Amino acid sequence: MARDKAEELETGRRMLTESLLEQAGYTMELARSEAALLAPFGVTKATLDSAKELCGKISAGREDRAVASIDSQSSAAAQNEAFAKAKTWLRRAVLLGKAAYDGDHHIVDEFTKGGDPGSSVKKLTGRLKDVLGALKTDKKRAAAFGITDAFLKTGADLLATLESTDATQETKHANLPKGTEQLYLNKARLYFILKQINRLGGAAHIEDRTLAERYNLDILYRRGTARKGKDKVPVGAGEAKG
């Protein structure tokens, strides 16, 4: 099923442009170095050409000062803080919920359905609602596993913040300048290509975890200084070269 434009705009808005381009350089160079291995899995020359073209369009979009100013304000790290905190809370909640309701398959299913929300605010808010509801099935039982009222309130507060932010962004999306809108769409489309390359790289190296783990988005998602041992990139991967 195709992604809708609103999802692409929100994804593109949240991507830090410099980090996205740096990530693209790393991922594309890695994929080129293993082109013969990846081709049967769907990472073709056309895939990499599309990514390169999007990198060029994104770089060109940054040259427009008006577009760059809006992009910088919209994708600032501070505005992504609630999203990052909510994903962390969700991961912990799922683990605690599975432990607390182990054996009750109909409840545990609530913690496993839906999968990773990725970069979608709508998917994340949906997962938060489902998980919060499941955690409250038997609060006395859940409390023994650290699922306290305070923990549940944190999740509910993060959900409310995300829903408020999402409503605000829906309004902003309707009034975006054309150049900014196109930049967001290009950033989202590049992100989804990189994500797909990582999945397929992992599939190609399914028998070797060390090789598979090179296909990651650590550069894009890192906060501040690079995490030890996670941002080792091939020589020249700092830019998306042809």
Q: Model confidence over 163-218: pLDDT tens digits? A: 876 655 554 555 678 888 899 999 999 999 999 999 999 999 999 999 999 999 99
Instruction: Give pLDDT tens digits for 94-135.
Output: 999 999 999 998 999 999 887 788 777 788 999 999 999 999
Name the token pair of 196: 């797909």
Average pLDDT value for the chain: 83
Cβ atoms of 52 and 242 closer than 8 Å: yes
Rounded to 10 deg, the angle between the 81-100 and 105-112 helix axes is 160
- pLDDT of res. 162: 83
- pLDDT of res. 227: 36
| Consecutive H or E run containing 223 | none
How far is the C-alpha of 8 from the C-alpha of 3, rounded, in Å? Answer: 7
Name the token pair of 173: 């999306």
Cβ atoms of 219 and 233 closer than 8 Å: yes
Cβ atoms of 201 and 30 closer than 8 Å: yes
* 13 pLDDT tier (thresholds 50, 70, 90): confident
- The three-point CA angle 30-33-35 to 5° equals 105
Which pTM was predicted?
0.66
Tokens 């442009």, residue located: 17
